[in-house]
């Protein structure tokens, strides 16, 4: 993976309003792979039942997907994302999401994404399909 692309994606994440609002950090970025983390904050990320909102977990999934899918330096956008929620995280849990490219063609790429907590508990699994536009990422 090109160092300039890696630096540009890392910088974009630190400036992205969504990632900042959720406290999402990019920890590892390699060709077709990303690891992001956030701390689950019940005061801001709970649902009506007092548990983690699925959108909060999905936000972490999407950030891992977004960053892994751009590692070749071109814009990729989500076509389909299928999430299975397995467990609800505990309040204050440090959550991680890892996105790994499983297959790629000229126009699409498939990713396996997993979310877990610091205790090794699996929170969610995801299969995602990206459309590869072929256009260079604009923040390079």
Domain boundary assignment for the chain? 3-136
Report pLDDT for 7.
Answer: 98
pTM of the model: 0.97
What's the CA gap between 35 and 65, in Å, rounded? 9
Is residue 57 within 8 Å of 85, Cβ to Cβ?
yes
Is residue 62 within 8 Å of 16, Cβ to Cβ?
no
Homologous superfamily of the 3-136 domain (CATH): Hotdog Thioesterase (3.10.129.10)
Region 82-103 average pLDDT: 98
Report pLDDT for 55.
Answer: 97
Ranges of beta strands (E only) in the chain are 25-30, 33-39, 74-85, 94-104, 108-117, 122-136
**Tokens 């956030």 found at:** 38
């Amino acid at each position: 993976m090109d160092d300039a692309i890696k630096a540009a994606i890392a910088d974009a994440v630190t400036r992205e309003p969504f990632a900042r609002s959720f406290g999402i950090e990019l920890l590892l970025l390699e060709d077709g792979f990303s690891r992001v983390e956030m701390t689950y904050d019940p005061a801001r990320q709970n649902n009506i039942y007092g548990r983690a909102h699925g959108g909060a977990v999905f936000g972490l999934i999407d950030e891992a997907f977004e960053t892994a899918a751009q590692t070749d330096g071109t814009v990729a956008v989500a076509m389909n994302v299928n999430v299975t929620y397995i467990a609800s995280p505990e309040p204050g849990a440090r959550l991680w999401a890892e996105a790994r490219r499983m297959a790629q063609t000229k126009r699409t790429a498939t990713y396996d994404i997993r979310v877990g907590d610091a205790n090794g508990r699996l929170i969610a699994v995801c299969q995602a399909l990206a459309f590869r536009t072929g256009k260079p990422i604009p923040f390079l």
